Amino acid sequence: MSLLERVTREGITPEVTRPAAEKVISGDPVHTTWNIEDRDGLLCGLWQSTPGKWRTSYSEWEYVFIHSGHSVLTDEAGTQTHLRGGDSYIIRPGFKGTWEVLQTTLKDYVIRG
């Protein structure tokens, strides 16, 4: 195993899922995930979602880099954060609110549980 890994979708079989039906607020979002690393409490890879809106709750820490698309994270207080290509954010444990994909969004993710 190499100690250096390129973050790419090439050669990785994606996992295709949807949010649980009770979390979906609008649309029919389809999530495609290319998991690259899953060990020692660390997950990373690429994630893409088609348009839709669902409730979300974070128990882990996540770093995201948005490659393309437009999503809006809205916290429980109603504060909206727009995520667009070139943006990077940290989502801390305890975040609760909604994730809405306005334009199909592709992101890198690094999650520490």
Of the candidates 99, 88, 90, 109, the residue with the CA atom closest to the CA atom of residue 42: 109
The answer to whether residue 2 scores a pLDDT higher than 90 is no
78: its two tokens: 């109603």
Q: pLDDT (tens digit, 9 = 90+) per residue, 26-51? A: 999 999 999 999 999 999 999 999 99
The answer to whether residue 20 scores a pLDDT higher than 90 is yes
- Give 77: exposed, middle or buried? Use CB within 10 Å, 0-12, 13-18, 19+: exposed
Q: What does the alpha-carbon distance between residue 44 and residue 46 come to, in Å, rounded to a whole number?
A: 7
What pLDDT does 4 receive? 87
Q: Where are the domains of the chain?
A: 15-112
Higher pLDDT among residues 67 and 3, named by residue? 67
Q: pLDDT (tens digit, 9 = 90+) per residue, 68-113? A: 999 999 999 999 999 999 999 999 999 999 999 999 999 999 999 8
As a residue count, the chain comes to 113
What pLDDT does 5 receive? 86
**Mean pLDDT computed over 8-14:** 94
Of the candidates 67, 66, 54, the residue with the CA atom closest to the CA atom of residue 91: 66
| Confidence band, pLDDT 50/70/90 cuts, at residue 1 | low
Q: What does the alpha-carbon distance between residue 27 and residue 54 come to, in Å, rounded to a whole number?
A: 9
Top CATH class of 15-112 equals mainly beta
